[in-house]
Structure 1
């Protein structure tokens, strides 16, 4: 299969492919997603096959607006209306109860809930609006690998496996959306992202919990990224929590390092990847760093700077801990 790169003016062509059950990757403000018509079970199963993704891992349903979402949920509770008004379109995914029979089990994992998101990207908004139905939107990468932040990343992983990629340049945020579960008594963030639990709590005017484990029903995770190892390059990743510990590492041609500029300046290595000057920038650049070292065949181990402060660090550390399988350098 030829994988075609689409520009803005070619969106109608991408829409026709989706209608036929083909897979098309699309841009968002967070990472690139892999689209298939959410109501077409065969197409959705094709997403699992293309990614090599476990089939009990539910998929996010990507909509053009709240009105489209209303066709698939039992109700839009007041909590959801407040969050949608404040954060949509944007990097917030909301879990709600779905109308029975509106979405295939391949989307929901057989659960009575589904995760809905309306991304802040004009090209993707136009794509879904013209299609007239939602699309699934897991990250457009090979399962377990770092999520893609450019069309080139998608092409590297999925060329020949999907029909097309809509290219809207590098993503703005670089980490996947925050996922908040509104199907439970107390709103609970299942996956941290740029929008923090504190921001959600402020909008709702009530307590918001942060899930620390893997919220599951009958062994099925309620949201993507909760059950399996994710975001990992081929070489093992180690988290360096203290800046001083970088001086204990033996640097050679098989060792890569990703850190803030002020840390890299003190390291004598030819295999450096800048995470930028701030934690915000590090979150944006993390997947790019992991993908860069994954493409370097000589790299056998990767050391990445960890953080324990700042509003964005929970999302950054969530992804980095999964990439490193919890391994820290001491």
Structure 2
């Protein structure tokens, strides 16, 4: 298998989740190559976080702006402690929600070995412990930190199945570990805990749940336009077609993505279940691309719990594009 990413490789190899498959994937990472792998949220595009050439390969494969930092995935809290300095609030959140769909932004430790390309030159690092047996198996087989944004071209729909990954990145990465469909379906929640906790991105763990664990609500970023963590760009997660939000019916030429009582050509959840909607969101957007939909109307989704994460992704999908 070709290991290093040259932005135009041979066809991407699909690897199994058994010990041999994970060992092969770990060897590619050690050699500086790119491996897509499942987490409980979405598929990640992994590289050794300590190899700048490998991390640069992520940006090349995704066409991702270099000022957008990456999340580093580690196997456990001890591995995270080797990379960042924990605050008391960070320990409280990690102990309550790791492994899980929570990313913490913390001060980078001197001598961590993490490439500056991962942090986009910031003095902080976004780190999480994934709650997925395949991700855990790969991290332990590799034995180091893995930088892994979502495994899709930059700004496009995040992948929740191996087929989604191959549609966007086949031939641009060395391999993909086929772990089936992801369960959560939206990316991790990101919280800056360098000081008082700040919600940087809504995600798989609702902000209300995090606030309950902390005993206080989370603040929101004070500086508009600052890219302090992954997934904060205004236009992101975008399908090919133009997106119109909060629609109760389709206009001529539109394909309607429904939710609850608003029936659509496709639906996030007929029963109005936010967990089901989160799991279906990116798959529905991929299906709209497959339908060559040029105009997409999306039904209203309640803006609480996982609905806040769903609406965040939909707003970015609908944002004006460069």
> Normalization by structure 1: what TM-score?
0.89
* Matches for 1:45-60 after TM superposition, within 5 Å: 45-60=56-71
> Quick one: structure 1 residues 5 and 213, their matched pair in 2 at CA, closer, same or farther if it must change by over 3 Å?
farther
Tell me, in whole angstroms, the C-alpha distance in 2 between the residues paired with 1:234 and 1:33.
Answer: 21
Aligned pair partner of 2:11 in 2, 20, 45: 2
Structure 1 residues not aligned, in runs of 5+: none
The one of 42, 46, 56 aligned to 1:35: 46
Which of 110, 114, 117 does residue 106 from structure 1 map onto? 117
Is the counterpart of residue 208 in structure 1 residue 209 in structure 2? no
Deviation (angstroms), 1:295 = 1.7
CA distance in 1, matches of 2:187, 2:223: 18
* Of 277, 282, 293, the match for 2:277: 282
Question: Which has the larger displacement, 280-289 or 305-314?
Answer: 305-314
Q: Deviations over 1:1-48 (max 9, x none)?
A: 221111112110001000000000010111000000000010000000
Provide the rounded CA distance (Å) in 2 between the counterparts of 1:208 and 1:53: 29
CA-atom RMSD, angstroms? 1.7
Aligned partner of 2:312 among 293, 313, 318:
318
Residues 214 and 283 from structure 1, CA distance in 2 versus in 1: closer, same or farther, beyond 3 angstroms?
A: farther
Query: How far 1:104 moved relative to its partner?
Result: 1.4
Distance 1:212 1:234 in 2: 31
Task: Output the CA distance in 1 between the equivalents of 2:311 and 2:222.
Answer: 13
Name the structure 1 match of 2:83: 72
User: How many angstroms apart in 1 are the aligned matches of 2:218 and 2:260?
Assistant: 34
1:86 pairs with one of 81, 87, 96: 96
Match of 1:306 in 2: 300
User: Residues 317 and 213 from structure 1, CA distance in 2 versus in 1: closer, same or farther, beyond 3 angstroms?
Assistant: farther
CA distance in 1, matches of 2:60, 2:186: 23
- Which segments of 5 or more consecutive residues in structure 2 lack a partner in the other structure? 1-9
SS at match of 2:240: coil
Task: Please show how residues 1-330 of structure 1 align to structure 2 within 5 Å.
Answer: 1-9=10-18, 10-73=21-84, 75-101=85-111, 102-184=113-195, 186-211=196-221, 214=224, 216=226, 221-241=227-247, 243=248, 246=249, 249-252=250-253, 255-260=254-259, 262-264=261-263, 272-276=265-269, 277-278=271-272, 279-297=274-292, 299-325=293-319
- Structure 1 residue 215 displacement after superposition: 6.2
Q: CA deviation at 1:212?
A: 7.4
Residues 33 and 138, structure 1, Cα contact 8 Å, conserved in 2: yes
Tell whether the 8 Å contact from 2:208 to 2:305 is kept in structure 1 after alignment: no
CA–CA separation in structure 2 for the residues paired with 1:212 and 1:311:
22
Question: What TM-score, normalized by structure 2, do the two folds share?
Answer: 0.91
Question: Are the aligned partners of 2:93 and 2:214 in contact in 1 as well (CA < 8 Å)?
Answer: yes
Alpha-carbon shift at residue 310 of structure 1 (Å): 3.3
Which consecutive segments of 4 or more residues in structure 1 shift more than 3 A? Answer: 210-215, 249-252
Quote the Cα distance in structure 2 between the aligned partners of 1:260 and 1:194: 19
Deviations 1:236-292 (A, max 9, x none): 011025x3xx1xx4344xx3111125321xx6xxxx112122233222211111111
Matched length:
307
Q: Secondary structure at the match of 2:57?
A: helix
Query: Is the 8 Å Cα contact of residues 94 and 116 (structure 1) preserved in structure 2?
Result: yes
